[in-house]
Structure 1
């Protein structure tokens, strides 16, 4: 069957009835993490909420005041997942999240238009497409596109939009001879009911279950951002349609204003200004590295020249690195001295190095890592790694001092 959302893609509210409601559990993504959620699968007499399919994500909306968290297609049925049980037979009012729906309509119809013209103009077949949250991409069956082709394609695409070309929907039976004349990548195994054809007048006729605009003018504009190398000799064409172009322009303008304020230059000079800054930063980083190296040598020499240097040397420096610690260890020497060196946040995360006689380091290294809630590895009298609790350095120093005192008492 064709759902109401497919018969009238512009309908935003709809009265229907609950056919079934059964307990269910699905996995939903929440802030980048997948979480299992218990709820109910609801089947309605008909629906204006589109179930995912044809490369288009599913709709969101409400059944009465109950949010619909996912809509899935199972054979001829659209299954709505909700957290609250609904009474079977109850008359309910459906509302669709129109902003999400219309965005999907613009991107999907835009994909059909770009796909058809990329084929007719250059012979590039579409092998798949993805409707992303911020931008969409079309996988073209070509290893590369020629210079100027994307610009030419974008020009023709937007001319079709300005021409206000109608987009119509036909429902054909599977044995209708007209089905053989339309573009298709095949039907799903569980397809049921009539074949739905999206016809962009004079441009393209294609099998599709998704929601679409009724006229290309509703796309407003399409911006082809570029073509990128894809997988297995494919090319990914990246595009925006409709309101996404407006949002992209607004975001780009705000970024441009921020850069103008930060760089104290006009927009045309941003790239040159950033390039100069990057070169300056590289010079400063190199100078800072040289200073850290010199400082490491001086710190080591100062310890070696101290009359009361003892057998334990501990040091923490916020802006050091592994090379800084290793230079100190090399200069001091670890045959007779136990070194505990750390760099990074004084209380948070950082790096550590324990150096000294092989036997002592092998014994104490794992205990030091455990105290600092970190991980490390060692060989030849050095154990170093990452730490998450630099605030426990004093506990490590106490451990090392106790070990030295214990060894001294044994030797006496």
Structure 2
């Protein structure tokens, strides 16, 4: 069957009744964390909330005063997941999240238009597409799209939008001869009811279950952002349609103003200014690394020249890396001296190196790792890794000093 959302895509509210309500669970991921919600699956007599399908995400909205968190299709039925139960036979007012719905309509109709013209103009067929949260992607069956073709395609697309071409919906029986003439990637195995055709007058006719604009003029505009290399000799075409173009322009202008303030240059000079900063930063980094290497050698030599030196040496420096620590350890005879080196935040994360007689390092390495709450490994008289709690560095030094029975410590 065709749902009310498919028959009247612009309908924002709809009164219907509850057919069934059964306990259910919803698994979802928010900010990288997976969670399982307990709730109910609700089936309505009809719905204006679109169930996920055809590359289009589901609608959000309200059923009465209950939030519909997910809408999926099971055969001919739309299943709404909610956190509160609804009474069977209850009459409810369903409201769709219109901003989300209209955004999906613009992106989906935009995809149909781009797909049709890319094939007509260049013979590039669409093999799949994704309606993303911020931008959408069409996978084209071609290894590349030339910049001139991209510009020509974008001009043709927006010309059709300015022409206010009508978009209509037809419902055909599966045995209708007209079905054979429309573009399609095939029907799902659980398809039920009539075939739904989205017809962009004179441009494209395509099987589709999604919600669409009624006129290309409602797309406002389409911006082709560019292409990326796809899989198996395919190209991913990235685009924005409608309100997303306006939001993109607003965000870009805000970024531009921030860069003007930071770089003290006009927008046309931003690339040059950033390039100069990057080159300057690389030079400073190179100089800094050279100084750290020289410093590491001097630190080791200072210890070796100290007549009061013992068989234990500890050193901490906030700035440094693994190379810095290894240079110090290489300069000191670690076959006779136990060396404990650390770099990083004084009471936060950092790096450590324990070097010395193999038996001592093998014995003390895991204990150092435990105190610093870190991760690491060792072999051949060296044990090194990452530390999560450098605040306990003093405890490690005391432990190692006790082991060596002769404390000697250097620190900057």
> Is contact 2:144–2:234 with CA below 8 Å preserved after alignment?
yes
CA–CA distance in 2 between the matches of 1:323 and 1:406? 27
> Is contact 2:52–2:59 with CA below 8 Å preserved after alignment?
yes
1:131-210 map, 5 Å? 131-210=131-210
- 1:14: which partner in 2? 14
1:259-408 map, 5 Å? 259-405=259-405
Q: CA deviation at 1:406?
A: 9.7
Q: CA deviation at 1:348?
A: 1.2
Asked whether 1:253 is paired with 2:253, we answer yes
Structure 2-normalised TM-score?
Answer: 0.97
3-state SS of the aligned residue for 2:210?
A: coil
Q: CA deviation at 1:161?
A: 0.3
Q: CA deviation at 1:404?
A: 1.5
Q: CA deviation at 1:146?
A: 2.8
3-state SS of the aligned residue for 2:405?
A: helix
- 1:81: which partner in 2? 81
Q: CA deviation at 1:32?
A: 2.4
Moved over 6 A (4+): none
CA–CA distance in 2 between the matches of 1:395 and 1:159? 72
1:274-304: CA deviation from partner (whole Å, max 9, x where unpaired)? 0000000000000000110111111111111
CA–CA distance in 1 between the matches of 2:191 and 2:126? 22
Q: How many residues align?
A: 407
- 2:26: which partner in 1? 26
3-state SS of the aligned residue for 1:148?
A: helix
Q: CA deviation at 1:126?
A: 0.4
1:338-366: CA deviation from partner (whole Å, max 9, x where unpaired)? 11100011111110000111110011111
Q: CA deviation at 1:268?
A: 0.4
- 1:410: which partner in 2? none
- 2:56: which partner in 1? 56
For the aligned residues, what is the CA RMSD?
1.1
Q: Which runs of 5+ in 1 are unaligned?
A: 408-412
1:363-401: CA deviation from partner (whole Å, max 9, x where unpaired)? 111111111111111122111111111111111111111
CA–CA distance in 1 between the matches of 2:362 and 2:19? 69
Structure 1-normalised TM-score?
Answer: 0.97
- 2:128: which partner in 1? 128
